[in-house]
Amino acid sequence: MDSAEKPPSAAAGGDARRKRKANAAGIQTGNKESAAPGSAERAAAKQLVAEQPNGVPELVRRVDTMIRDLDEIMKLANPHVAVVAHVADLVNAMGAVITAVENPAAKAEFHGEQKIHNEIKAQAERAKEILGKAVKVKIDQNLSDSTVHLPRLANFMTNPLPIIFTAEELAPLTVDVARRAAEACWKLALFDSATKQKTRAAVGLLDGLRQVLETVNPKESKVHRAVANALLALDAHDYFGGKITEAFGFLATSDKTSVTRAEVENALKGLKRDVRMFADIAKQDSDHAGKLAAEGIGAVLVPLLGLKEKKNLAWVEEQKPYFTGAVAVEKEVCHAIGVLVSHIADREVCQSYIVDAGAIPALIQILNRPPPIAVSGLSAETRRAAEAYASASHELARRAADAIRKLVHDFEAFKLMVRQEEGVPTLRALLDRRDTKVQRAAAAALLTLGEHDRLVKEIEKLTETLVARPDADRARDALKTAVRTLAELAKEGQQVSAEGDMVDAVVRSGAVEAIVPLLSLSQRVGEEYDVSFGDIEKEASYAISLMASKDVNQNRIAAAGALPGLVALLQRYPPQTTGSVATSVARRAADAVTNLAHENNVIKNEVRKEGGIPPLVSLLETKDPKVKRAAASALRTLAFKNDDNKNQIVECGALPMLIFMVKSDDALIHYEAVGVIGNLVHSSTHIKRRVLDEGALQPVIGLLSSECPESQREAALLLGQFATTDSFKIKMVQRGAIRPLIQMLGNNDEQLREMAAFALGRLAQDADNQVGILHAAGLRPLLDLLDCDKGNLQHNAAFALYGLADNEDNVPDIVREGTVQRLMGRELIVQASKDCVKKTLDRLKGKIASSARVLRYLIYLMTTDPDGADAQRIAVALVHLVDDALGEELREVFIKKLGLPILLRVLMPSGPGNDKTTAKAQSRNEACFALHVLLKKVTGKLPPEDAPLPPTPDAHLDEHFNTPDLSDITFVVGGEEFFAHKIAFTHFPNQFHDDVSARRTSAPGERAVVDFSHLSGDVFRALMRFTYVSSLDSERPDIAQDLMRVAVKYDMHELKRRCESLLCDDVVAKGETLGAFDLVERFDLAESLDATSVSIRCALHALEHHVAMNTQLGPTKFAQLTGKMVGRIDEHARAMFHRLPTSSDGQTRLTA
């Protein structure tokens, strides 16, 4: 990455966010001249809020009423325009509500802001739905006059509240209303002439439609098309054309004695807006452009191209130096002309109308204006004005050149007119303008005019002349200029594609065949003319270099015989030659070889066979830095993936000079030199050895600290290639390569980080280097690279980490840094990176399994400061890394050495606000996952459980369940009767029987009737079912919860056990579909009823599904939940560890 964008300032953050929301919804907020977001409207919004006697509530009620009114309006016989107008008013009313609730004073007294926003969003969606239905109803003026609603539409378009363009809830509806309003105006205009006149006469409507074009983002094409249709249907071009003519007349006849500067500036701003509107209309459709052109818009716009020359406006520039008002209008005119003739359909007709209005002379006159001159010694304010004027002038020249190109496209008569008006010399002069965009536009115009064809013919003719008369100085100068101009067309054409590929156009014109012979022109005319023809050879090499920049042209250029000519030039100008011409010819020839051979192995071989490598190597010794760089660049290209070329470059003695160049202070020189060396050593072990023997190692290491990021990148890549040799891995570290490579890992340049990680990965294959990299603080930046979204970066970092993990001395520091968690929690892009990370984790497990020393030290670090962050990271990592057969080491680490309490402390809430931090939430998630893994590991090592105690024998009285047969007691629950048998309840605890007696409603001696309405019917039915058939409904866990309360109240142990079992099974069965809030409710119930098994099952579920739980509850509530669960998790974990078997001697490698 060559440059980085500056982040927006903090002060501008809110505006930036608001603009992003608006742009996403289709609102164009960047237009400073748009009236919608202006201060006047903001003041109006505040006034609207202030006028409400009851503030926000009154505004909300108003919106509610307007929403209800929509349904009534829809019942009208002709609702189309009425609904659009009503929704337009509604949008502004909603905007007033949002403005009010976002007012700081209102926020202090009103706390339902989010609720209001949600309601507004729902109401906006409802309004949009009704609007969609209304516009499907055909407008019928015979039923009612829809034009009575137009003032409301005009008001909406000309005076909208600014909030409606930026509020996320309203922006989509605002855009839709703007579109529907324009469509309504269009349909009214088409209904009949009377309706059209009424619509056109609506005050502010046409200006409002224009403002919509300015305000709504051009990406909202449906809105812009609707507005353009409406404006044309209403003959707005007459209205705005008249305004332009009136303003132009005002400016043409006014002077400083009759008007003020402010009046002139306002008139120019109005002109600019009106002209831009015509461009927006023409852009939508070829028919629109054709109609505007046919209606004479050219005659309205073209006179404006002379505004800058109006002498009666000179006084404005005297008062305000570098005034850009007139230039800004002319820019818009050029743009509008370009748009009018851009559509393929009816292009010739539009071109004719605009040209007939005198556009070509006027545009050429603009191009003939002298470029802005830089002036020194200006004040800061004046300097900024001068820079703005220069920028505007260059942009005007670009648009004028672009307009000429489009006007003459495929129209020979108009091309001839440009030539007759001396437009070609003017455009050619622009190729020297110091503005890239102007150069490109001029090149495109010249190519459209066919100047490249004419130049090719001129070059061929002049070449023949010079061969016949070598001393023809005028022909020689003309040939040089023609070749140079053709080269510039090819250069700028690389960036221009509006009318096809311009470089290809130059090549198709025969430029290659015309220019290649010029490379050997001096040989054809005689050696005595060598120096005088040097400029021509230089320009010819330059042109070939530019045309060869496109791969498809390389073979054609080579087939025309360019390589022998270029090699001859390289041989003819050795480095000892003095003079600017000689060195520049060699440089251009080397550049041409570079572009010709780029990724073309056939041409690379041809260059070698033609003898091009020795002179290029020789040019490395020249004193001219540009020639030196060009020669190195050519050698770099030739050496890339071509072994024969590599060997010849080395045999020609290039290595010593290249190594000297690596030591150069010139960043461009050492960048090219290290690039050549990198290509030479790639996949060539013998060359790599020679390079190192020549002393390249230390200079390349020195480039790691260069201020040139490209040189740093190439040096890091080269060191990575050197590091395949074991002896040099250690030398690189000894000579200081590690620290600058690690510093490069934090650079903003993505490729620089990639190459640094690549080199470190190679160096990390040595045991001593592994420790050196880690203790030079290389671990964390490598881990950070795993967080990027680039596959190559991730893989190089993963490979380096894999190397670091190979040394057991590194393992404690790797674990303490949280590496295990970061490796496990990263989504990697390519499979190779995933495999590398898995191997790294396996390597860490192996080191801990094989080295008791490493594990003891990790335990020491963990227990030294058990409350520290390192202890938490180590405890989490050891869960994943320790896994002995019997689980004795797990017990040693987590029970005896207190690893379990460390993990559990992470689950505890950490105070107000702290639980919301990303780091704390991440630590809690890691601890939850670690505890889940730990308990799962321990569970897998437990011996089979002893047989549980037999449950209470099941009852089998289902045929008597809730039947009046033989029933001797009736329970009344909420008006429903349940028939029961006293004998069925004999085994129930005394508490139940006491309660039955207390709730009996029948008299003694009568059939027993008991009012049990304190229970619900479903719960009592479940109690009866359990009593008679000893079963519970597994589909109703909610009933089981209530039934468990009954079991606790009446001390029914078996019923409670059954309920607990059902609720536990339900938690397992639902898995991740169990809602977080349902789990919280169940856990709290279990705790209140001492249902230990349910509490533990809920806690285990929270550990397993911690991500979903944290998402649903939020960090703070999830922390509160895990804090309540800590006791149960601890109890369960210790019970499981207690059941783990022990070895026969009770010894482990940690206790031995």
- Read off the pLDDT of residues 279-294 as tens digits, 9 standing for 90 and up: 999 999 899 999 999 9
- Confidence class for position 496, pLDDT limits 50, 70, 90: very low
Task: Please list the residues that pair with 1008 across neighbouring strands.
Answer: 969
- Confidence class for position 105, pLDDT limits 50, 70, 90: low
CA dist., res. 668 & res. 687, Å (int): 24
Please check whether residue 244 is in contact with residue 182, taking contact to mean a CB–CB distance below 8 angstroms.
no
Q: Which of 601, 572, 596 is closest to 586 using CA atoms?
A: 572
Number of other residues whose CB lies within 10 A of the CB of residue 65: 10
Angle between helices 451-468 and 473-493 (to 10 degrees): 150
* Cα 804 off chain centre by: 33
Q: Hey, CA dihedral for 1057, 1059, 1063, 1065, is it positive or negative?
A: positive
Helical residues (DSSP H) of 548-681, grouped into ranges: 551-559, 562-572, 580-597, 601-609, 613-619, 625-639, 643-651, 654-662, 667-681
- Confidence class for position 40, pLDDT limits 50, 70, 90: very low
Mean per-residue pLDDT for 894-900? Answer: 90
Long-range contacts of 116-120 (CB under 8 A, 24+ apart): 116/56, 116/60, 117/169, 119/60, 120/63, 120/94, 120/167, 120/169, 120/170
pLDDT exceeds cutoff 90 at 141: no
The pLDDT tens digits of the residues spanning 1093-1110 come to 999 999 999 999 999 999
Please check whether residue 1042 is in contact with residue 1019, taking contact to mean a CB–CB distance below 8 angstroms.
yes
- Confidence class for position 902, pLDDT limits 50, 70, 90: very high
Q: Which amino acid is at 318?
A: E
DSSP 8-state assignment for residue 9: P
CA dist., res. 406 & res. 565, Å (int): 39
By CB atoms closer than 10 A (0-12, 13-18, 19+), residue 40 is exposed
pLDDT exceeds cutoff 80 at 862: yes
pLDDT exceeds cutoff 80 at 393: yes
Question: What CA–CA distances, in Å, run from 28 to 38, 87, 175, 315?
Answer: 13, 21, 11, 35
Q: Which amino acid is at 983?
A: I
Please check whether residue 732 is in contact with residue 692, taking contact to mean a CB–CB distance below 8 angstroms.
no
Residue in the structure block whose two tokens are 């349940």: 978
Task: Please list the residues that pair with 977 across neighbouring strands.
Answer: 972
Q: Which amino acid is at 261?
A: R
By CB atoms closer than 10 A (0-12, 13-18, 19+), residue 440 is buried
CA dist., res. 1011 & res. 536, Å (int): 116
Mean per-residue pLDDT for 229-237? Answer: 94
Q: Among 632-646, 760-774, 912-926, which range has the highest average pLDDT?
A: 632-646
The pLDDT tens digits of the residues spanning 169-218 come to 888 999 999 999 999 999 999 999 999 999 999 999 999 999 999 888 88
Q: What percent of the chain has pLDDT over 70?
A: 90
Mean residue pLDDT across the chain: 86
**For residue 574, what pLDDT is reported?**
67
pLDDT exceeds cutoff 50 at 706: yes
Per the rule left: phi > 0, alpha: psi between -120 and 50, beta: everything else, 687 is: alpha
**For residue 41, what pLDDT is reported?**
42
| pTM of the complete model | 0.70
**For residue 981, what pLDDT is reported?**
85
1009: phi then psi, degrees, rounded to nearest 5:
-125, 125
Please check whether residue 800 is in contact with residue 760, taking contact to mean a CB–CB distance below 8 angstroms.
yes
**For residue 946, what pLDDT is reported?**
60
Q: Which of 1089, 1081, 1093, 1087 is closest to 1117 using CA atoms?
A: 1081
**For residue 959, what pLDDT is reported?**
63
Question: What CA–CA distances, in Å, run from 915 to 870, 872, 912, 926, 1116?
Answer: 19, 16, 7, 14, 5
Q: Which of 223-227, 696-700, 955-959, 1037-1041 has the lowest mean pLDDT?
A: 955-959
Number of other residues whose CB lies within 10 A of the CB of residue 767: 14
- Confidence class for position 8, pLDDT limits 50, 70, 90: very low
The pLDDT tens digits of the residues spanning 457-491 come to 999 999 999 888 888 889 888 999 999 999 888 87
Please check whether residue 411 is in contact with residue 371, taking contact to mean a CB–CB distance below 8 angstroms.
no
CA dist., res. 459 & res. 518, Å (int): 9
Q: Which of 227-236, 485-494, 971-980 has the lowest mean pLDDT?
A: 485-494
Mean per-residue pLDDT for 495-508? Answer: 65
Structure tokens at 505: 């156009």
pLDDT exceeds cutoff 80 at 579: no
Q: Which of 239-243, 378-382, 530-534, 917-921 has the lowest mean pLDDT?
A: 530-534
CA dist., res. 605 & res. 596, Å (int): 12
Please check whether residue 60 is in contact with residue 209, taking contact to mean a CB–CB distance below 8 angstroms.
no
Mean per-residue pLDDT for 574-587? Answer: 67
**For residue 530, what pLDDT is reported?**
55
Q: Which of 441, 565, 524, 430 is closest to 485 using CA atoms?
A: 430
By CB atoms closer than 10 A (0-12, 13-18, 19+), residue 990 is exposed
**For residue 225, what pLDDT is reported?**
94
Q: Which of 114, 233, 129 is closest to 172 using CA atoms?
A: 129
Mean per-residue pLDDT for 667-694? Answer: 90
**For residue 367, what pLDDT is reported?**
94
**For residue 550, what pLDDT is reported?**
84
pLDDT exceeds cutoff 90 at 565: yes
**For residue 316, what pLDDT is reported?**
83
Tell me the residue length of the chain: 1152
pLDDT exceeds cutoff 60 at 13: no
CA dist., res. 899 & res. 904, Å (int): 9
**For residue 639, what pLDDT is reported?**
95
Q: Which of 934, 864, 924 is closest to 895 using CA atoms?
A: 934
**For residue 958, what pLDDT is reported?**
59
Q: Which amino acid is at 273?
A: R
The pLDDT tens digits of the residues spanning 403-434 come to 999 999 989 999 999 999 999 999 999 988 88
In the chain, the N- to C-terminal Cα span, in Å, equals 57
Q: Which of 368, 510, 531 is closest to 452 using CA atoms?
A: 510
Q: What percent of the chain has pLDDT over 90?
A: 53
Per the rule left: phi > 0, alpha: psi between -120 and 50, beta: everything else, 8 is: beta
CA dist., res. 532 & res. 1115, Å (int): 80
- Confidence class for position 359, pLDDT limits 50, 70, 90: very high
* Cα 1134 off chain centre by: 49
pLDDT exceeds cutoff 60 at 1092: yes
The pLDDT tens digits of the residues spanning 916-964 come to 677 888 899 999 999 999 999 999 888 887 655 455 555 555 566 667 7
The pLDDT tens digits of the residues spanning 43-79 come to 544 454 454 445 678 888 899 999 999 989 999 999 9
CA dist., res. 662 & res. 418, Å (int): 53
Q: 673-694 in b/e burial notation, b at 16+ Cβ within 10 A?
A: bbbbbbbbbbebeebbeebbee
